[in-house]
């Protein structure tokens, strides 16, 4: 058992530790009680008369935050908070002009102590263990409340100084997960004014370039804030009760504006690729609602869209939102979209997300057939190298598009009417008219091509995938396939559906190869066959030695 220095720590370890001798426990209890009573006494003395104000200094020194605030004395902090609250409530911290000189000195001294105490709390929030951090946060917030309530006209000042320090401390705290969650759930979500000023402070904070970790914290705090208030929202829950509320705090627009600023500050910061992806992922649900002018997101989104790869895929939905809602004009949207169809797309984990969007983008029947055909041909090319779970999506997707764009069905069925051309094809074969390198989807000539790739996939190794690929060559009697059913399949799921859980016994006896091979790995009995290796696994033996 480690020898604890502080009584509270001792008490904890007594509680947590094994079974120390009773006497020792009693002794510890005694010291703890002693300290408590001493703190109580000091506190009482302060309340009794101003003579004992020096006790404040004693208490602050007892906080034990030097050199680092790893193990603070919480009881002291609590009692100090009480002391200062009382003092603030009594107006002892406000200096009046008419007060005597010595009064002024006392007030100034008290203010200094108060600042010192606040600094101590911040230090605790930054350094200490989560429990102490949370306590310190609560105490600091209480101070904020007291000071705003009892010192008239000080609110802006307090929000700008003390609260700023709190926010900074919360963001920069060591192991601050719990602290941040506590801060968000107890204060930011609860009280609308706290949220308002948090936005203000975060916007200010994020204006400077910050480290990626800090940005992560900022994003997590911001994204866990409540949903954006509706336009006719009545602001009711305030941390600091006031009769006259500032206009700002009661206006939805002001709130949104602050949030927007905070977000923008973050978006302008130096984001890593992963953070960018993360932001894009939460864009539609968490960020955009806060923006009164979503067009401000345009730059960020277009930049992300131009990055390529997964980032582009993710930017797509945000961009779509802007196009749809805010009438954003994105020149050559489809060209860009077409360029997203690269070899990685079908292997990406955002595949389903992309297909859902692509389904929306290509839903219009007014799109030119050449363009749609390019997408189809491109997808079928990609399907040749795709995992089964992607092929399973592509084919029904194509089916639906064929239903909407019957002109494209030439890609599945084409008779060459021109006799000369037919003869030429018969003699010399043909090239694929599709131009793979053309980036403009209206010029790829895909509509002249055929979907040989899908036809090849009809002999895919997995029977279910092959069956799905076969719908292209059957009659199109079904109205449309529900795309959602085909998204989100994985290798794991397919293997599991094939293998089952192993509890069920096989219903049918599996067929066994009728001939037992003479050799599998070795050259056993090769002479008998005249030295020619054939039969099963011959290929394996040809390439491998065992």
Partner 1 sequence: MPPSQLKQLKASLRDSGVIRPQQSKKQKRENAKTGASAQNRNQRNAALQAIRDRFNPFEIKAPSNRSKFESTTRDGPSTAAKGYRPGVTKSLGEERRRATLLKEMKDRHKTGGLVDRRFGENDPTMTPEERAAERFARESQKKMRKESMFNLEDEEEDFQLTHMGQSLTLDGKTLDDFDAEGLDGGESDDEKSRKRKRVLPEDGEEEEEEEDQDFIDFGAEGEGHPERKKSKAEVMKEVIAKSKFHKHERQQAKEDDDDLRDELDKELPDLFEALRGMKAPPKQDEPAKQDLAAMNPERAAMMQAPEQQDTEKQYDQRLKQLTFDKRSAPTDRTKTVEEKAEEEAERLKKLEDDRLKRMRGENVSDDEDMADDDKDSFFAGDESEEEEDDAMAFGLPTSSTVPRPADMGVEDEDDFVIDDDLVETRSNVSLSLDGSDMEEEELSEDDEPEVAEQEDELINGMTLPTSTTETAVGITQSATGKLAFTYPCPADHDSFLEIIKNVPAQDVPTIVQRIRALHHPRLKPGNKDKLGKFAEILVEHIAYMADETEEPSFAVIENILRHIHSLAKTHAINVATAFRARLREISKVRPLNLIPGDLVVLSGISTIFPTSDHFHAVSTPAHLCIARYLGQCNVEDLTDLASGAFAATLIVQYQAVSKRYMPEFINYALNALCNLAPTELAAELRAFPPRKIAENLRLESSKKISSRKLQFDDVINSPNDIKGEEELKLSLITTFASLLGSSSDIWAEKSAFTEIFTPAQVVLQHISKSFKNKVLPVKSALDKINAHLTQAHLTRRPLFLHDHKPLAIKSAIPKFEENFNPDKHYDPDRERAETNRLKKEYKREKKGAMRELRKDASFVAREKLREKKERDSEYEKKYRKLIAEIQSEEGRAANDYEKEKRLRQGKR
Interacting residues with partner 1 between 432 and 471 (CB under 8 A): 432, 436, 450-453, 455-457, 459-464, 466-468
Give the nearest distance from C-beta 107 to partner 1 in angstroms: 60
DSSP, residue by residue, 149-193: HHSTT-HHHHHHTHHHHHHHHHHH-TTTHHHHHHIIIIIITT-HH
Q: Are 141 and 83 in contact (CB under 8 A)?
A: no
**CB of 258 or CB of 378, closer to partner 1:** 378
* Two structure tokens written together for 34: 């002693």
Stretch that binds partner 1, among 223-231, 246-254, 282-290, 500-508 (CB under 8 A): 500-508
Rounded distance between C-alpha atoms, residue 536 and residue 517, angstroms: 7
Give the nearest distance from C-beta 403 to partner 1 in angstroms: 13
**CB of 349 or CB of 419, closer to partner 1:** 349
Stretch that binds partner 1, among 82-90, 226-234, 355-363, 473-481 (CB under 8 A): 473-481
- The yes or no reply on residue 273 touching partner 1 (CB under 8 A) is no
**CB of 294 or CB of 396, closer to partner 1:** 396
In the block, tokens 């997964």 appear at: 310
- The correct pick among 54, 248, 409, 442 for binding partner 1 (CB under 8 A) is 409
Does residue 336 sit in helix, strand or coil? helix
Give the nearest distance from C-beta 490 to partner 1 in angstroms: 6
DSSP, residue by residue, 81-136: HHHHHHHHHTTTTSPPTTS-HHHHHHHHHHHHHHHHHHHHHHHHHHHS-HHHHHHH
User: Which residues inside 343-372 make contact with partner 1, applying CB under 8 A?
Assistant: 343-344, 346-351
* Two structure tokens written together for 236: 């009711």
User: Which residues inside 147-206 make contact with partner 1, applying CB under 8 A?
Assistant: none
- The yes or no reply on residue 419 touching partner 1 (CB under 8 A) is no
Give the nearest distance from C-beta 306 to partner 1 in angstroms: 18
Q: Which helix (H) or strand (E) holds 456?
A: helix 452-457
* Two structure tokens written together for 148: 């705003």
**CB of 3 or CB of 499, closer to partner 1:** 499
Rounded distance between C-alpha atoms, residue 356 and residue 483, angstroms: 8
User: Which residues inside 227-246 make contact with partner 1, applying CB under 8 A?
Assistant: none
**CB of 16 or CB of 515, closer to partner 1:** 515
Stretch that binds partner 1, among 22-30, 90-98, 282-290, 412-420 (CB under 8 A): 412-420
Give the nearest distance from C-beta 505 to partner 1 in angstroms: 7
**CB of 113 or CB of 351, closer to partner 1:** 351
Q: What is the largest CA-CA distance in the chain?
A: 121
**CB of 102 or CB of 415, closer to partner 1:** 415
Give the nearest distance from C-beta 432 to partner 1 in angstroms: 7
Q: Phi/psi zone of residue 364: left (φ > 0), alpha (ψ -120 to 50 degrees), beta?
A: beta
- The yes or no reply on residue 415 touching partner 1 (CB under 8 A) is yes
Non-local (6+) Cβ contacts of 453 within 8 A are: 380, 381, 383, 384
- The correct pick among 303, 324, 493, 529 for binding partner 1 (CB under 8 A) is 493
DSSP, residue by residue, 230-263: PTTPPP---SS--SS--HHHH-HHHHHHHHHHHH
- The correct pick among 97, 504, 530, 532 for binding partner 1 (CB under 8 A) is 504
Q: Are 221 and 179 in contact (CB under 8 A)?
A: no
Stretch that binds partner 1, among 64-72, 126-134, 358-366, 519-527 (CB under 8 A): 519-527
Interface with partner 1: number of residues (CB under 8 A): 103
Rounded distance between C-alpha atoms, residue 169 and residue 136, angstroms: 11
Give the nearest distance from C-beta 510 to partner 1 in angstroms: 4
**CB of 184 or CB of 411, closer to partner 1:** 411
Give the nearest distance from C-beta 277 to partner 1 in angstroms: 11
Does residue 331 sit in helix, strand or coil? coil
Give the nearest distance from C-beta 363 to partner 1 in angstroms: 17
User: Which residues inside 306-345 make contact with partner 1, applying CB under 8 A?
Assistant: 310, 342-344
Q: Are 99 and 60 in contact (CB under 8 A)?
A: no
User: Which residues inside 24-63 make contact with partner 1, applying CB under 8 A?
Assistant: none
- The yes or no reply on residue 387 touching partner 1 (CB under 8 A) is yes
In the block, tokens 């609110």 appear at: 155
């Amino acid at each position: 058992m480690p020898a604890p220095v502080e009584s509270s720590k001792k008490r904890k370890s007594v509680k947590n530790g094994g079974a120390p001798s009773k006497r020792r426990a009693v002794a510890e209890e005694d010291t703890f009680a002693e300290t408590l009573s001493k703190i109580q006494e000091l506190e009482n003395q302060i309340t009794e008369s101003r003579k004992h104000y020096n006790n404040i200094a004693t208490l602050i020194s007892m906080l034990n935050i030097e050199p680092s605030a790893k193990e603070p004395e919480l009881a002291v902090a609590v009692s100090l908070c009480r002391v200062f609250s009382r003092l603030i409530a009594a107006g002892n911290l406000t200096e009046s002009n008419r007060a005597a000189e010595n009064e002024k000195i006392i007030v100034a001294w008290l203010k200094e102590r108060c600042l010192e105490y606040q600094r101590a709390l911040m230090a605790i929030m930054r350094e200490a263990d989560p429990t102490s951090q949370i306590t310190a946060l609560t105490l600091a917030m209480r101070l904020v409340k007291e000071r705003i309530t009892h010192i008239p006209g000080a609110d802006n000042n307090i929000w700008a100084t003390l609260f700023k320090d709190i926010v900074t401390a919360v963001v920069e705290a060591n192991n601050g997960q719990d602290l941040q969650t506590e801060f968000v759930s107890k204060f930011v979500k609860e009280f609308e004014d706290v949220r308002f000023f948090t936005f203000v402070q975060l916007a200010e904070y994020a204006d400077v370039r910050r480290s990626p970790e800090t940005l992560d914290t900022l994003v997590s705090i911001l994204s866990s804030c409540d949903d954006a208030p509706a336009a006719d929202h009545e602001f009711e829950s305030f941390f600091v009760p006031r009769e006259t509320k500032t206009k700002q705090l009661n206006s939805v627009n002001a709130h949104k504006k602050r949030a927007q600023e905070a977000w923008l500050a973050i978006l302008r910061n130096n984001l890593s690729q992963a953070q960018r992806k993360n932001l894009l992922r939460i864009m539609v649900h968490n960020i955009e609602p806060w923006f009164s002018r979503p067009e401000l997101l345009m730059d960020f989104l277009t930049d992300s869209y131009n990055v390529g790869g997964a980032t582009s895929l993710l930017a797509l939905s945000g961009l779509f939102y802007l196009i749809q809602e805010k009438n954003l004009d994105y020149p050559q949207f489809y060209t860009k979209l077409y360029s997203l169809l690269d070899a990685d797309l079908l292997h990406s984990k955002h595949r389903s997300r992309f297909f859902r969007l692509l389904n929306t983008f290509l839903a219009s029947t007014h799109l030119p057939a050449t363009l749609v055909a390019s997408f189809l041909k491109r997808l079928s090319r990609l399907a040749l190298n795709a995992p089964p779970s992607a092929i399973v999506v592509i084919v029904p997707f194509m089916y639906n598009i064929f239903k909407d764009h019957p002109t494209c069905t030439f890609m599945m069925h084409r008779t060459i009417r021109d006799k000369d051309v037919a003869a030429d094809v018969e003699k010399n074969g043909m090239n694929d008219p599709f131009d793979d390198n053309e980036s403009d989807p209206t010029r790829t000539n895909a509509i002249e091509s055929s979907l040989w790739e899908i036809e090849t996939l009809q002999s895919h190794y997995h029977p279910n995938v092959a069956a799905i690929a076969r719908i292209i060559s059957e009659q199109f009697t079904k109205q449309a396939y529900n795309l959602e059913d085909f998204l989100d399949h994985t290798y794991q799921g397919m293997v599991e559906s094939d293998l089952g859980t192993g509890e069920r016994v096989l219903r049918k006896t599996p067929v066994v190869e009728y001939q037992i091979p003479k050799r599998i790995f070795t050259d056993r009995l090769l002479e008998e066959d005249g030295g020619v290796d054939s039969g099963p696994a011959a290929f394996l033996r040809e390439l491998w030695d065992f």
